[in-house]
Amino acid sequence: MENIPETVRTKLKRLPKRGSHERQVINGILDEGFICHVGFVVDGRPVVIPTGYGRIDDRLIIHGSQASRMLRAVGKGIDVCATVTLIDGLVLARSAFHHSMNYRSVVIFGRAALIEDEEEKAAALLALSEHMIPGRWNHVRAPNESEMQQTTVLSLPIEEASAKIRVGPPLDDSEDYDLPVWAGVLPLRLIVGAAVTDPNSRVVEPVPDYVRNYNRQTPERPAD
């Protein structure tokens, strides 16, 4: 299994046993998430912006309006840190101190590049759409020339990255296991509800199968 080389910035110093540099693990987390937080510095001040993303092989794809301050700044090739976190459960211990969460997270360091080639840009937007809901791109109107010009797309290489994962029950102090306190894990999971048709629709179409059967779980983490 391929590992992403460890660097000074991606070496886990606290609880390193929870860390991973395996590309398959990192990609699995990225492919299940929806939102990444992009941190960078502008005019000497730190900024963190949440945004949607997609993945093409070993690149994270970010897009938005040309007017976006984040995309204008990050597109200049400055250092950024992008993070994705999935919460899998609340870990309820016998002591307040040892309460925690079960989670999967990825941290990526690097410099993003502006995608200007028209074909590459279209492929990146396709990847963003497929990341959100597979099958949708071929079912809708494609972006026109004006919309493409209004959209900025950046590519961040997934070359300096690490994952950190917590699973399992609470880890209490030995003497606290005798306390008459319930302890365990309260699982959390993203639930897909029934689709709601746009009330402004002029043409009422049946809900597509890819919407009706939508499931966010990745093959590495199947639904219960």
**Tens-place pLDDT, residues 42-91:** 888 999 999 999 999 999 999 988 777 778 888 888 999 999 999 999 99
Asked if pLDDT for residue 220 goes beyond 50, the answer is no
Q: CB-based burial of residue 5 (10 Å sphere; 0-12 exposed, 13-18 middle, 19+ buried)?
A: exposed
Q: Alpha-carbon distance 37 to 178, whole Å? A: 41
What does the domain layout of the chain look like in residue ranges?
16-212
pTM above 0.85, yes or no: yes
pLDDT at 137: 94
Query: 3-class SS at 179?
Result: coil
Tallying the residues shown for the chain, one arrives at 224
Mean pLDDT of the chain: 91
Q: Alpha-carbon distance 13 to 173, whole Å? A: 22
pLDDT at 218: 54
Give Cα 85 to chain centroid, integer Å: 6
**Tens-place pLDDT, residues 107-151:** 999 999 999 999 999 999 999 999 999 999 999 999 999 999 899
CATH top-level class of 16-212: mainly beta
Q: Work out the percent of the chain whose per-residue pLDDT is above 90.
A: 79
Q: Work out the percent of the chain whose per-residue pLDDT is above 70.
A: 96
